Each structure stands twice: as structure tokens, then as C-alpha cells.
Amino acid sequence: MPNNLPLQCWNLPLSGLLLRLGMLLLLFASINPVQAQQVITVSGTVSDSTGTTLPGVSILIEGPGNRGTTTNGDGKYTLEVNSTATLVFSYIGYSPQRVSVTNRSVINVRMVPTESNLDEVVVVGYGTQKKVNLTGAVATVSGVELVKRPTPNIQNLLQGRVPGLDVVQGTGQPGRDNANISIRGLGSFGASSAPLVLIDGVIGSITNLSPDDVADVSVLKDAASAAIYGARAANGVILVTTKKGKKGQNTLEYSTSYGQSEATRLPDLVYNSAQYMELRNQAHIRVGQPAFYTQAQIDAYRNATDRTKYPNFNWMDYAFRKAPIVNHHLGFSGGSDKSTFNISFNYLNQKGVLEKNDYSRYNALFDYTSQLHKRVMVGTNVNFSYQNITEPWQTNDGLVLIVYHSAPTFGPYLPDGSGRISNTAYQGESVGQRSYPSVVNNGAQYTKNYNVNAQAYANVDVMKGLQWQLKGAFTYFNQDYRNHQFGVPTYYYQPNDKGEYVYVDNSSPSYLGVNQQFSQSLTKTFYTTLNYDTKIGTNHGITALVGYEQQNNTSPSLSGARRNFPNNTLIELNAGSAQGQSTGGTTTEWALQSVFGRINYNFREKYLLEANARYDGTSRVSEANRWGLFSAVSAGWRVSEEDFLKNKVSWLSNLKLRASLGTLGNQEIGNYPYQDILGLTSYPFGTSLNQAAQLNRLTDKNLQWEKTKVTDIGLDVDLFNGKLGATVDWYKKETSGILAVRQDVPASVGLGAPTTNAGAMVNKGWEVELRHQNRVGDFSYGANVLFSAYRNKVTRVLAPNRGVFEVGLPYNSIFIYEWIGIFQSQDEINASPKQPNSGNVRPGDLKIKDQDGNGTVGPEDRISINPFPNYTYSFGLNAGWKGFNLTAFFQGVQGRKLYVTGWGIEPFGQGAPPPTKYLNAWTPENHSTTVPAVYLDRVSYPGVQGYPSTYFLQDASYLRLKNVYLSYTLPRKLLDRLHTRGLIVYFSADNLLTFTKYEGSDPERASGGNFAQFPQLRILTGGLNIKF
């Protein structure tokens, strides 16, 4: 295969290729076996052990093709089969049964309940496997569990559900609440560490889906399970399967819910104006400035009887509110002997806990399959979503920061009742800060996202055991973004000596106007596979898969901006002045071409072997290294099937040992990291300014893949027919060739440093899952516990950068001084090691430890802090009794440290009210040993507080009651009276309780930094689900 295929050659004409494959498909469909078997009609009734008929039981003809039907509302079925066929009856909560037809026309089956999950089938790459036969590390999450929580983003619903899957929701802002997801630690520090997400086998975004449309989610964590995806699988793979129709009785389903959301936690700030003013005066005096407030001004607030004029205004209570969230879902599914269908519509509307933070989402799903021929099945799946996000022009943490920065000395509007917006109480009280109402009433940002994931496929039973599949799909994304701001007049809250409210011009010309951007992304995918499944005798089972796949993506974008509009209502670009306008536009492309294969072997389902391989070629890597082979091998031993245990140890249902080793790749390294990039510049020549092109950066022409070697050893145990179970995994991920910008290129070169394969990193960890379920009469109960821990270490880097990466330490380690106390006197300062900036150290300042004992505290005395948690955990409890069901889900993180910067270490940053702990700050009269003397900010105060130290290192460990779910299912007698097939009413509470030492708004955040963060949401929801 050539190493330098141009991008244009990879963009194969999909329509022509499908036409040729379609002709072959029809050719295979027309071929009949030489020895035709007699086709007969089989019918019957399926019931449980009490004789009650079971609707919706799946009946499949064993072998390739998955042809079959389901029982109707009376538990009856009819199916055309070969006279020698074998039927497989399966139903949730019952053991599957294999029944040979043997020329019978009537087959009645009685299902037997089971507590075991050994026959569970899970989705893997390009197919499915019995869970008991898996040799890789694969975890699944049922869609039934996802919809119990009222959170609209599926990413966040996966939190705590899979050991080794880290989900950190950085914000609770509606429509912007995407999480940082990683599988088994950080995968790279130069490229993306996000896992590959596939929706029904095609690349897509999980955030665009409605949780009501998800059947299940599979997480592929090791090389054995993920190597089939080769260059895209280094960070793991998440496979999402949407709901499908089932043969049998049609079902109309409607669900609705209404909830209220509020902030989980907010920081405790000083909102007593007199206390705030006195503390601020202390801070000004400490940095050598005069007191900001006069004593008369402080007394006016302390002794006021008119709190409208002299308020103790609590901006937290004013800005943060309870906000509604509404969800509606309508689905219609079913099928006949020849076809299945599923159609659903979903509408979500979520208001923000801060004003003008609104989000709405519309989803539509269409899935259809048809048995064109007894050996040909075709299908299509279309998933559409539309998202509408409205935000103030200053969004996310910026808007929260404005709330935190607002002093209690003024309210949102002037006290004269005119409705005019206030800025601050006095001139200079805030540094460059806008007030909350001046932001939410000044323009907005509007984002509209359109997403379509459409696919068509065909499955052909070529011969016994051999199935051919081909699929064509496209994923389309379109974003329309607009931002406008025109400025809002504001005034000082307190009048001047003349009794006049002074106008404040706090608008920046660089912000005023309209910005608009359009971006698109179109990814076309085609793949075809041949899958062969056979048995040799009664002992040997073999499954083999080979396939070909190609992808290409085109992403154009346009942007424009204008200023100086005639009014604040006409916000079209053409209405602005052309003078000073800006425009931009770009188009990027990438392509991927692959062949892949997998082979599975089992001996009596006791000894298991699997091998995977994929050969990928990508346009993102230099031509010399464009193609890469990624492979994995794995093995499993079901010890419980050995003669010395089977049927002799009755309580041991399953005991399996497994191990895997393989190499994965990471192509998410940017589109053109190895190519020379030209930029436009200007230079004077004579009396004119001329344009020229110049190189922007140096490039590494030998850039290669990032590769990850993964070792996994696992244990699966099930006891007492599935009542008790455990899964344990140990893994080691070694990533080499990590992309990083070289740090050793001198500035005199005049070009940006190149991106090269500069680093290596290793992650080692453990994962444990414990589960229990049981039933005693009408009462059922269960519990599960998940635990995971890993250690990260940088093992190679070309030019270490202390504070970012250093060999032998975790990536992005925090390098700070160790705080050991507060100086109480000048004598103590004189007797202590020389502190940083020691000429400005005074009593009340932080005291830093001299680690090396040389008498001077310097950069070499900084200690390193691991930014990753010691471990994460979750546990769930559930109980059911006569239609009632109660679940409680807890999730936690232990040992995670966050270093607070910005406003978090500046008590009066930009005029903000400080945290209430500063009411106990050190003063000459109050020698506090826990809170240093107040100061304004790091710029105005050159003391030790301006240096990073462990005093500002927060313990972000937490335990959270993530969800409580209580439901009641109406009994059959009531359902019959209501002429419905099912009705569930429920109550759900999300983020109900949080236990933490973190002082900010919420410990669950993507990284350290400023305290200001859009808070997580506590959501209380009630709803119902009804089926007809």
C-alpha cells in the first residue's frame, strides 16, 4: 500500500462504490444453497413459570443474520424457519432457551427466571460478544440507569458508572456543561486525551443525544477491546447504541418531567457593608495607600435606617435563582416479521440559575430495518438534534466573577427609583469592573447548533456462518454564532456633593458591535465487513472478522465583525460601519483509510483467545510515517468450567482470568502539525507598505504517531448464580512519541518552535467493581461499589519545563512553596530564613519553609504536588417492593488538590468582598495563626502572599449524593382500567448533598484557577412515563 496517498485519492466516490457493492449484494442474495431445506411455519405461546404469557419475548433463528420475531401482547408468535433450525428465546430477567424445531409446527416455551448475567451480550467494535467470553476490559451502562437522573447531558450521566472512566463536569451552565472525559488517566499532553465516541458505529458527539434515545453504552478500556479502532483508540472508546424497534406489538411511549435547579454551593463572602469597608481600609493601609472610605461613609452604612440607600446587598442572593427544566419525550416503536421501526422526538428546555442563560434542545430519531430477502436485511438510522444557547455577552466564569466582585455597598439600580443601572457605590471602588445588571442587559450571545448523524446499511447472509455488512454514513455539524454588545449607561450608586448621580462610561470600544461566525463539519464514513462464525465439532468455536473503512472530513468556517451601529436593535452585520470591519475564513481537511481484522477462538467456552489488528493511514501524519499497524492479543481462562470446579462448587457461577497486551494510536494531533504554515505580514518598501508571506513556525517533517502500549490483567467472579460478583483489573499504559512544542529553540531563530515527538508518559492503575443483587419474596435489593486509582508519571521530555512537566513526576505537577505559619512579630521575621522578596515581609504575612536549610527561600525550595486524585469511587443502593423502586447513587473523589489563583488569592481583587474567613484576619490586635493580614491584590502588595504557596492549595476531595430516584409502577389491574400497557411516576433529585473541605463554589471542576466558576446544579424533578 503506498505511503503517500494524496487526500483527493482518499475521498473516494462513495455513491459509485455503494452502487457496485449493491450489485454484488443482489448477486449474493440470488444464490441459493445447493441443498435447500424445507421452510415451515412455526407458532406458539411463551409464558413464565406460573403460566402467565409474556409479551415482547425475542425469538431469533440461531446463526448469522439475527432474523426472528417477538411475541405479541398475548405472548404468541409466528415465524417461518427451516425445518432443522434452532430458535433462541430470550427475555430480560429470564434465562435464554435454545429449542430445535425438528419439523414441529407448534412450539410452546416456558421461560425460567435467572439472576445470572453470564448470557449477557455486550456491544464491542463492529459487533457483539457474550460477556462471559470477553477477554478484554469492557464495561457497559444501561440506558435505563441513565434516564433516572434529570441531567440532560449524557457525558455527565456516565460519571461514577464505570471504573476507570473519569468524568469531571467543569460547569453547570445550561448548554455548556460538557465534561472532561478520560479513560484510565491522561493519555497525552500534546494531543487530545478524549476517547473516541461512536454512535451506532459511526463517529459522533454524545452531547447531541437525548438520554431517552440511548439503549446502552459500552466503554472499551484496554488494547484487546479497542485495537480494532487502531489510530483513534489510544484514549479508549465509547460505543453508544440507540434504541431500536422490536418485532411484535407496536408501542407508543410518552414521558415528561419538570424540575427546579439551583446552585449546589456558593462561597461565603462578606456582605455586611460596614465590615467590608473597614476590611478594605485595612488592606489599603497595609500596602501604603490612604484609607479608601471615610469614617463618615462607614458610619452611614453601619447606622443606616434606609437600607435602600445604604444597603448590605447580597449579590449572591440577587443573581442566583431557582430555574426550571422541562423535558418531553414521545416515541413510537414496533415491527412485523419483516421489519422494525423506532421513531422518537424529544424536547428539552432549561433555564439558567443566572439570568439570560437559557438552553433548548430538539431531538429526532428514526431507525428502520427491513428483511428484503430471507438472507438480506437493510436498515437506516437518522439522528437529528438542534441546540439553541442564549448567554450574556460575558459568559461562563466571567459572569460569575462579576457577581463575586460586586461590593455590598450598592444595589443593582439607583435608589431614586428611576430604574437606572448602578456601577459601584463610589468612584474607584471597582477596578475596570462592570456590574451584573449592566452585563445581562447589554446584548447577548446566541449559538445555534445543528447536528445530523445519518447512516444506511445492509447485512447479507452469504452462506451458513458468513455475514457481509456494508454501511455508509455521514455526520454533519453546523454552528451559527452571533455576539452583540452596544453598551449600557451606568451610574455611581451614591450621589456626589451636589446630590447628582454621576454617569460612568465603562464600555470598551473593542467590545461594541456585532460578531458573527459560521462553521461546518462534514464527516463521511464507509465501511464493510465480513464476519464468519462457526463451530468445529462441539469443542471449538471460531469467529473471524475482516473489514475496510474510510473516512474524510471537511470543515469550513467564516467570520465577520462590524462596529458603530446606528441603534441597539438592528444587529445585522450590514447595518454596521464598514470602517474597521474584520473578516476571516478557513477550510481544513483530513482523511483516514483502514483495513482491520479480529479473530476469536474458544475451546468449550473455557479457554479463550482473541487477536485484533488495524492498519491505518492518515493525512495528519507526515508522509514517511503515514501508515501504522496497531494490534493486540488477549486470552481468557474460565477456571469455573474446569472439571475440578464445574458442578462441584455450586456457589461458584463464573471465575475467569484474562490478560491482554497491545498497541494503540492517537491521530488527534491536529490536521497539519508536520506541514509548513505560511502567514501574511507587511513590510515597508520605499513609501508603501507591501504584503508578503512568511513561515510562522519550524516544522518536524518526520513527525510520527503517538503510540500507547497497554497491558491489562483482569479477574471476573460471579457467585451464587449472579447474586454476588466482582471485576478487578490492573493496567499499565505507556505512551511514547507524545507531541510537544520544543522548549530548546532560541528566540533568535525568529520562528515558532516546532511540534515534535518529544515526550513519553506512563499510567498505572487498579479498578475494582463489586456488585450484589437478591430477591426475597416481593422485596428485591442490590448494591454496587466502584473504585479506581492510578498514578501518572512523565518518563521522557526533550526540554523539561518545571511547573509543566518534569521527568519522574506527574504531568502538570503543581510547584509551590510550603506554608508553615504566619509571622507574628518582626523578631520572628529576623530569626527566620530569608523569605521571597524578604525586604517587604511584615508581621501578618505568610511564612514559607526553607526546604534545603540554606537560610534562603528560593525557587529550589518549591515542592511538587500531584494534581491527580489518589482515587475515585462510587456506590449505589437499590430496593424494590410491589411496584415501588428506590435507588441512591453516591460518587466521590479523594486526594485531589486544586491550586487557587486570581481572585481566589486576592481578598479584594477588583474590589470584591473577601471570604468571611478574613473577618478573623491577622491584625496587630488579633494575632491570627490561620488567616494572614488582608491585602488588596498581588500587584499592589509585594509580600509573601503574592507567591504561590500551599496556603492557597485547596483539598478538592468530596463525597456527593449524586442522585436519589423513587418511582412507582402502577399494577396491572389499574393499567387495564386506564387502557395502558405501563405507567410509572417518579421523583428524582440530583446533587442532593455534598461533603467537602473545598472553600469555593464546588469541588468538582476541570482544573484549579480562579474561584469564580459557574456552579454545579442541584435538580429536583418529578415526572411520569406512560406506554400504550
pLDDT of 187 strictly over 90: no
Are the C-beta atoms of residues 637 and 606 closer than 8 Å to each other? yes
Flag whether pLDDT at 395 surpasses 70.
no
838 burial level (CB within 10 Å; 0-12, 13-18, 19+): middle
Q: What sections of 658-767 are H helices per DSSP? A: none
Q: What is the mean pLDDT of the chain?
A: 87
Q: pLDDT grade, residue 487 (50/70/90)?
A: confident
| DSSP bridge pairs for 1021 | 259, 988
Mean pLDDT of 733-741: 88
How confident is the model over 501-523, as a mean pLDDT? Answer: 82
| Inter-CA distances, 311 with 277, 427, 431, 608, Å | 12, 17, 21, 74
Return the ∠ at Cα 524 (arms to 519 and 527), rounded to 5°.
Answer: 160
> Residues near 820 by Cβ (< 8 Å), separated by ≥ 6?
847, 848, 849
pLDDT in tens, 279-295: 999 999 988 889 999 99
Cα 421 from Cα 400, distance rounded (Å): 18
Residue matched to cell numbers 490561620: 930
Of 62-66, 257-261, 606-610, 1023-1027, the poorest mean pLDDT is in: 62-66
With beta carbons less than 8 A apart as the criterion, state whether 421 and 498 touch: no
Confidence of residue 432 (pLDDT cuts 50, 70, 90): low
- Provide the grid cell at 1016: 454545579
User: Which residues face 384 on adjacent strands?
Assistant: 364, 452
Per mean pLDDT, which range of 251-255, 573-577, 650-654, 767-771 is the poorest? 573-577
The whole-angstrom separation of Cα 866 and Cα 880 is 42
Instruction: For residue 114, give the C-alpha cell.
Output: 435467572
Is domain 32-110 annotated with CATH 2.60.40.420? Answer: no
> 273-286 vs 295-302: helix axis angle to the nearest 10?
160
pLDDT at 120: 78
Lowest mean pLDDT among 365-379, 429-443, 976-990: 429-443
H or E element, residue 58: strand 58-61
The helix (H) or strand (E) run that includes residue 662 is: strand 652-666
Residues 6 or more apart whose CB falls under 8 angstroms from that of 796 comprise 736, 758, 759, 760, 807
**Contact assessment for residue 171 and residue 209, using Cβ atoms and an 8 Å cutoff:** no
Q: For residues 844, 848, 854 and 855, what is the CA-based torsion angle, rounded to 10 degrees? A: 0
Q: Judge whether 694 and 749 are in contact, CB under 8 Å.
A: no
- CA distance linking residue 655 with residue 279, whole number of Å: 66
What long-range pairs does 119-125 form, CB within 8 A, spacing at least 24? 119/90, 119/95, 122/218, 123/216, 123/218, 123/239, 123/241, 124/218, 124/220, 124/225, 124/228, 124/239, 125/220, 125/225, 125/226, 125/228, 125/229, 125/237, 125/239, 125/598, 125/612
* 877-898 confidence digits (pLDDT tens): 999 998 899 999 999 999 999 8
With beta carbons less than 8 A apart as the criterion, state whether 527 and 470 touch.
yes
Which candidate, 184, 201, 191, places its Cα nearest to that of 666? 191
The whole-model pTM stands at 0.86
